[in-house]
Every structure is written in C-alpha cells, then in structure tokens.
Structure 1
Amino acid sequence: MTARVLVVDDILANVRLLEAKLAAEYFDVVTAMNGADALEAVQRTKPDIVLLDVMMPGIDGIEVCRRIKSNPATQHIPVIMVTALDQPEDRVRGLEAGADDFLTKPVNDVALFCRVKGLVRLKMLTDELRNRLAADPMGLPSPDLSGVAAAGGRILLLDNNSAIAERIRTSLSKQHEVTLVDDPQKAVEAFGAAQGGFDIIIVNLDIEGADGLRICSQLKSVETTRQTPILIIVDPEDHQRLLRALDMGVNDYLIRPVDKQELAARVATQIRRHRYTEQLRLTVRASMEMAVTDALTGLYNRRYLETQLTQLIEQSANRGKLLSLLTLDVDFFKSVNDTYGHDAGDRVLQEVAGRIRGSVRGQDLACRTGGEEFVVVLPGADLSTAERVGERIRKTIAAKPFLLGPGSHLTITASIGVASLASPQDTVEDLLKRSDQALYRAKREGRNRVVPAAA
C-alpha cells in the first residue's frame, strides 16, 4: 500500500524507528520534530495519515490534532495519537480533539500497520468521493467531518458467550443501540431487518461453534453489509488470524481483556468515519442525479437524453434492434402560465411527468427537454408500437382534469410526434428532427393527437 505518512515526535530516535518501519512497508514517510513544523508539513505535503506524539514541548499533540481537525481542508486526514501513557483520560482528550486512533509506546508492529493501513484504506475511499464532488458541475459541498456525531449509533454485536456479550452490550448501551445476535446465520437477517442498517458490527472472533474469520468474510461479501465497519475481538496471541482478518477488510480490533474506555473510543471512531463516508456517498449520488435529472419533474434532462440516445442508436444499429421515440408538447401551456400563474404551470408539468412515467415501461427513457416539451425513448419498439404508447399517454393526460388549486381544475391535452430509426446511418439529430416534424403536424391538425413521422 503506497501512502504518505507524517511522523511527528520530538525525540529523534522515535522518529527514526517509525520511519524505518514504515519505509520497509513502502510508505512514503515525512517527519516533523515539533507541533509547529507538523502543522506546516500537513499543509505542504498533504499526508494520507499523521502519526502524532502526544507529549511535545510548545504545541503538544492534542492541540496539533485539534487544529488539523478544525480546518476543513485537512479535517479528513486521519490522525493516530502515539502516547507513552496508556491512560483512559489521555484517550478521552485525544478523542475530544478529533483523533481517529491511538497507539501506545513501545509501538507494536501489528498494531502499527493495522491502524495505518486501515485508516489509509478508508481515506483513499473518502478521497475518491471528495474528488468526484470537487469535479461536480453542480458544485455540491462535501460533508463536514467535524459535524458528524458518533453518539446514538446502531451496533450489531455477534457473540454467543453470554457473559462477555452482556458486558459489552451494557457498556455500549449507555450511548448506543445494541442488537445482540448469538447465531452467525442470523447476522445478515438482523442487518436486513434493521431500518437503515447498522453503523458497526462487532464480532467475537472466537465465537463458539463457528469460524469467526468466515463470518467476517461473509459480511464483507454481502451487498447490505459490505460497507459497514467490522470490529473484531481477539486473543493477545492470535496474530495470524488477526492479520488474515485485516487482509480481508476488517476495520479494527480489540485485544482481550477488553478495556471499556478503548471499546468506546474505537466504536465511536468507526461510527463517525462510517457516517461521514455514507454522507459523502449520498452527496455524490445526489450530485449525479442532479446532473442528469430535471429538478422540477424528476425526469431525465436533455443532456442525459442526448448521451443515452447516442448509445441506444449505436446499439440498435450494430445489433439490428428497433428504437422509437415520442416528442410530446403540452397544448396551450402558455395560457396556463398567463391565466393561473407559473406555480400552477409548474404543478401541471409535474403532473404531466407523473402521468408519462406511469404510462411507460421501466426500460423506457422519459425526459423533459425544456419548457413544456417531453421526449420518451422506447427501446425495442417499432413505429406502430410507439404510436400505441403515445396514444396511451395522450389519453392518460386528457382523461382526468388537473388540480391547479382549491376548487380549481383544468383539462390539459398534449400533442405527440412519433419517429423510429429509419436506417443504420440515423443520428440523434435525425431522429429528433423527424419526431419534431411529426409533432408540428399534430399541432397543425388540431392538437390533442398522436402523429407518426412521414415515411
């Protein structure tokens, strides 16, 4: 795994030791010897992760972490606090400053590479999502990690040792909702039954009567649980299974006996990161939808129509398949706006879009191309089939009056032109031009009718 690691410590021997270990695993290592230099290095080198000593003169590690996490430009960079004091209060201070994880000196190699690789892997995912948003023409902002709360999480605990499981459940239930499952076969079922899923899954790797590694593998292979962080509980000597679990994508681990403070800290970190990543995913999805859909009606927009229609025409030409489209225009729409106002006009367009959507197949492409004009692409349909679909849409629009306001109804009609691919040489412009010409004929001949393009 290639990533840039910033190592910060005021003792040169500690810096050189961590630098050597990380360089041996092919990490690009940057170093700093004090807090001020660390903050400058974060801005200059843009590290993928920071290993930060807590006890330093001047600006200590807690304050450096706080400044990194309070800056929107750097708050997504994971910070691991490295401390010689394994005290709960140190962890609490670090968490309050925004630290993502902790390591205790002398640093154990397994713990070091587990924490670093896990957090770097997660940062790479968030970087990809952030880059998509940065390139988004809609300009939607990235979520703010500092505003993501870790409290009130939903936890799935998989363990059939009742005594240990109950202690964990009791400890976490003060801040979170914990669902305890003692049968591995029911874990995915419990996930599906939970409204909105879980924020984290905790697995006892030594669960009785089952293979803990296989459970983790199954959870990572199922669509519903693939993105949910997994925290495992292992014995101190179980290094081999721990490494295998980390290789398959397990996010974090706890060594027995489980410290309640560390349990709470690691659960909070994973929940916070998971929620931030999910917010990023949702924002990216929303930006993609906004880029291809019409904001008023929810149908696809002209840009998406032209892109998809180009591909559909190429596929139809190459495979000899049929393709038709309808161009629809709401009759006398200007008078609706002039008489009842633009709000009423918008409601008419939304209702027209809904009636179109309810009259076509899932594979058909319904678009609003501007104003009161709509286009419906019908893959696999010949001209006569497309005419029947157009007639169904026309009747659906005309059959029921549109509600414009309390006690105000208006009958709306539409004119529709129909065209089909005529030859393998047809282009998007050719097809749209013929359907437009058929639409103009429909309007000239009295509106509220479906007219096919001339042969």
Structure 2
Amino acid sequence: MTARVLVVDDILANVRLLEAKLAAEYFDVVTAMNGADALEAVQRTKPDIVLLDVMMPGIDGIEVCRRIKANPQTQHIPVVMVTALDQPEDRVRGLEAGADDFLTKPVNDVSLFCRVKSLVRLKMLTDELRTRTGGDPLRLMTNEQITADNRPGNVLVIDNRAAVAERIRTALSGKHDVTIAVEPQQAIEACAQSEGGFELIIVNLDMEGIDALRICSQLKSMEQTRQTPILIIVDPDDHQRLLRALDMGVNDYLIRPIDKQELQARVSTQIRRYRYTEQLRTSVKASIEMAVTDALTGLYNRRYLETHLAHLIEHAVNRGKPLSVLTLDVDFFKSVNDTYGHDAGDRVLQELSGRIRSSIRNIDLACRTGGEEFVVVLPGTDLQTAERVGERIRKTVAGKPFNAAPECHLTITVSLGISALTTVEEGVDDLLKRADQALYRAKREGRNRVILSAA
C-alpha cells in the first residue's frame, strides 16, 4: 500500500523516527515542524493521512486538526493525533476537533501501521466515491454534520464470557445501544435480524472454545456485515493473531486491560467513520440512479436506453433470439397541459408509467425518452407477441380514467408502434426508426391503436 503521509512534530528526533518507520514500509513521507508549516504542507502536498503531534508551540495540533477539518478541500483527509499525554480530556478534544484516530507516545509499530493502513484504505475508498459524485464533499456531508452526529450507535458484542461482555455494555451505556451474542450462530442471527444493521461489531479474540478469527472471516464474507467495521479485543502478547486479523480486514483493536475511555473513543470513531462511508455510498448510488433514470417517472432515460439497447441487440444476435421494440406516445397530450396545467400532465405521465410497468415483465426495459414519449424493449419477444403486449398496454391505459387532479378524471389513450430485430446488421437507430415510423402510422390512422412496422 503506497500513500503520502504528513508527519508533524516540533521535535526533530520524533519526526525522523516516524519518517524512518514509514519509509521502510514504502510510504511517501512529508514532514513539518510546526502548525503553520503543517497547514501549508496539507495544501501543497495533498497528503493521504496526517500524523499530528498535539503539543506544539504556536498553533497546536488540536487547532491544526480543526482547521484541516473545517476546510471543504481538506476535511476528507484522515488525521491521527499523536501525543505523549494519555488523559481522556485530550482524546475528547482531539475527537471534537475532528480527529479520526489517536496514538500515544512512544508509538508502537503495530499500532502505527494498523491505524495508518486502515485510514489510508478508507481515504482511497472515499476518494473514489467523491470522484464519482463530482468531487465536491459539500454535496455529500459536511464535517460539521459528521462530527455533530451524536446518535447512539448500534453495536454488537461477540463474547462467550458474560462478565467481559457486560463490562463492555456498561462502559458504552448511555452512548450506544449494545447487543450481546455469546456464540457464533447467535451472532449471525443477530446480524440478519437487526433492523437498522449494526454499525460496529466487537469481537473478543480470547473466547473459550471458539475460533474468533474464523468468526471475523465469516463476518467479512457475509453480505449483511461486509462493510461493517470490526473492533477486536486482544491480549498484549498475541501479536500473531492480531496481525492475521488486520490482514483479513479487521478495522481496529484494543489491548487488554481495556481502558474505558479508549474503548468509548475508538467505538465512537469507528461508528462515525462507518456513517460517513455509508453516506458516500448512498450519494454514489443516488448519482448513478439520477444519471440513468427519468426524475419524473422513475423509468430509465434515453441515455440508458441507447446504451443498454445496444447490448441487448448484440446478445440477441449472438444467441439467435428475437427482440422487439415498442414506442408509445400519449394522444392529444398537449391539450391536457393546456387545459389542466402541467402539474396535471405530470401526474398523468406518472400514472401512465405505473400502468406500463404493470403490463410488462421484469426483464423488459421501460424508458421515458422525452415529453410524452416512451419506449419499451422486449428481449426474447417476436413481433406477434410484442403486438399482444402492445395491445395489453393500450387497453390498460384506455380502460380506466386517470386522476389528473382532484375531481379531474381524464380518459387517456396512447398510440403504439412496434418493430422487431430482422437482421444481424441492424442497430439501435434502425430498430427505433422503424418503430417510430409505425407509431406515426398509428397517429395518422386515428390514434389509440397498435401498428406493426414493415420488415
């Protein structure tokens, strides 16, 4: 894993030590010796992560972190506070400033690389998601929204030692909702039944008679928990299993004996990070849907039709299967808008879209291509069968008045043209053109009818 790390400390020996450790793992290391230089380096070098000392003259680490997280251009960069102070209030101040994690001096190598690699993976994910959503973090979620989200988290604790699990529940009481599972099958059932989904899973690696690493592997393999962060509790000398757990994707760990303040801080950090990435995923999904669907009707748009129809034609040709296209236009739609207003016209189009969906199969492709014009692609369907589908749509539309407005029930009809794939050379434009020509004939011959194209 390669990434650029900014190391900030006012003591040169500390800077050089961290620089040497990170460079040995092939990280690109940038350094700064004070807060002002750190802020300049963030803007100039665009690091993937910042390791930031708390106690510095002038602008201290807390203020540097606050400024990084307040800037829309840099707020997505992970910040790890590095401090010799192990007081709970320092951790709280760092987290309130927006810090993503913290390390205590002297920095343990395992802790260092665990935190850095985990946050760099997150950074790479968020960079990709931000790129897909246009790269504007303000469109997704501001740092103020992230840090102000103090809703209780939904935490699952997997531990067959009741006393240990209860101590964790007590430590998190009032801050998060905790569910305890005492054996693997119970944990899997809890994940499947959790309505909102768990936002963090805590696994005790030292359970009696249970291979906890296998549980972690299963959780990372399950669809319901693949993205859910896992925090493990491990003995101080159990380095081998700790490293194996980190390699399989475990997000964080706590060394026994568990410090209550560190438990609370790490749980809150993981939940906050999970919510942020989920928000990004939701934004990406919404952006993709907006790119391929029509906002008014929820059907696919013309862009998606042209791209996907080309693939469907290729598939039909390669498999020797039929394929038909149906074009549809609302009769006298302009008079609906002129007489009853565009809101009424929009409601007609929305209801029409629902009637089209109810008349076709799940594998059929329904699109709104503009105004009152629609296209339905029917894979595996010959011309005669497509004609029956068209008649079914026509009757479904004409058979029941549309609720265009309160106390306004309109009889709506549609004209349809149908074409079928005839040669292996035929493309998207040819197929749609012949369907449109059949549609124009339906209009000329009196509307409210289905016309088949000539081969």
Q: Distance in 2 between matches of 1:309 and 1:253?
A: 49
User: Does structure 1 residue 292 correspond to structure 2 residue 292?
Assistant: yes
Aligned equivalent of 1:35: 35
Q: Alpha-carbon deviation of 1:326?
A: 0.3
- Amino acid across the alignment from 1:238: D
For structure 1, list consecutive stretches of 5 or more residues without a partner in the other structure: none
Aligned equivalent of 2:141: 143
Residue pairs, 1:184-223, within 5 angstroms: 184-223=184-223
Q: Alpha-carbon deviation of 1:126?
A: 0.7
Please list the CA deviations of residues 375-402 of structure 1 after superposition, one character each: whole Å capped at 9, or x if unmatched. 0001111101111111111111111111
- Amino acid across the alignment from 2:141: P
Aligned equivalent of 1:391: 391
Q: Alpha-carbon deviation of 1:437?
A: 0.8
- 8 Å CA contact 2:114, 2:246 repeated in 1: yes
* Runs of at least 4 residues off by over 6 Å: none
Aligned equivalent of 1:401: 401
- Amino acid across the alignment from 1:181: A
- Identity of matched residues, %: 78
Q: Distance in 1 between matches of 2:289 and 2:126?
A: 19
**Counterpart of 1:177 in 2: which secondary structure?**
strand
Residue pairs, 1:319-330, within 5 angstroms: 319-330=319-330
Aligned equivalent of 1:381: 381
Q: Provide the alpha-carbon RMSD of the alignment.
A: 1.3
- 8 Å CA contact 1:404, 1:410 repeated in 2: yes
- 8 Å CA contact 1:145, 1:276 repeated in 2: no
Please list the CA deviations of residues 393-429 of structure 1 after superposition, one character each: whole Å capped at 9, or x if unmatched. 1111111111122222111111111100110111111
**Counterpart of 2:133 in 1: which secondary structure?**
helix
User: Does structure 1 residue 281 correspond to structure 2 residue 267?
Assistant: no
- Amino acid across the alignment from 1:147: Q
Aligned equivalent of 2:87: 87
- Amino acid across the alignment from 1:233: I
Residue pairs, 1:12-411, within 5 angstroms: 12-134=12-134, 141-148=139-146, 149-411=149-411
Aligned equivalent of 2:439: 439
Q: Alpha-carbon deviation of 1:322?
A: 1.2
TM-score relative to the length of structure 2:
0.97
Q: Distance in 1 between matches of 2:232 and 2:144?
A: 26
- 8 Å CA contact 1:150, 1:271 repeated in 2: no
The alpha-carbon distance between structure 1 residues 126 and 154, as it changes in their structure 2 partners (threshold 3 A), is: same
Q: Distance in 1 between matches of 2:13 and 2:90?
A: 23
Q: Distance in 2 between matches of 1:250 and 1:213?
A: 10
- Amino acid across the alignment from 1:29: V
Aligned equivalent of 2:415: 415
**Counterpart of 1:232 in 2: which secondary structure?**
strand
Q: Distance in 1 between matches of 2:135 and 2:55?
A: 40
- Amino acid across the alignment from 1:311: H
Q: Alpha-carbon deviation of 1:142?
A: 2.6
Q: Distance in 2 between matches of 1:17 and 1:217?
A: 34
Q: Distance in 1 between matches of 2:216 and 2:443?
A: 63
Q: Alpha-carbon deviation of 1:288?
A: 0.5
**Counterpart of 1:134 in 2: which secondary structure?**
coil
Please list the CA deviations of residues 356-391 of structure 1 after superposition, one character each: whole Å capped at 9, or x if unmatched. 011111111100000111000011111011111111
Q: Distance in 1 between matches of 2:406 and 2:138?
A: 36
Q: Distance in 1 between matches of 2:380 and 2:135?
A: 35
Q: Alpha-carbon deviation of 1:150?
A: 4.4
Q: Distance in 1 between matches of 2:138 and 2:60?
A: 36
- 8 Å CA contact 1:327, 1:376 repeated in 2: yes
- Amino acid across the alignment from 2:155: I
Q: Alpha-carbon deviation of 1:156?
A: 1.1
- 8 Å CA contact 2:70, 2:143 repeated in 1: no
Q: Distance in 2 between matches of 1:239 and 1:151?
A: 34
Q: Distance in 1 between matches of 2:7 and 2:403?
A: 66
For structure 2, list consecutive stretches of 5 or more residues without a partner in the other structure: none
- 8 Å CA contact 1:188, 1:225 repeated in 2: no
**Counterpart of 2:38 in 1: which secondary structure?**
helix
Q: Distance in 2 between matches of 1:294 and 1:78?
A: 37
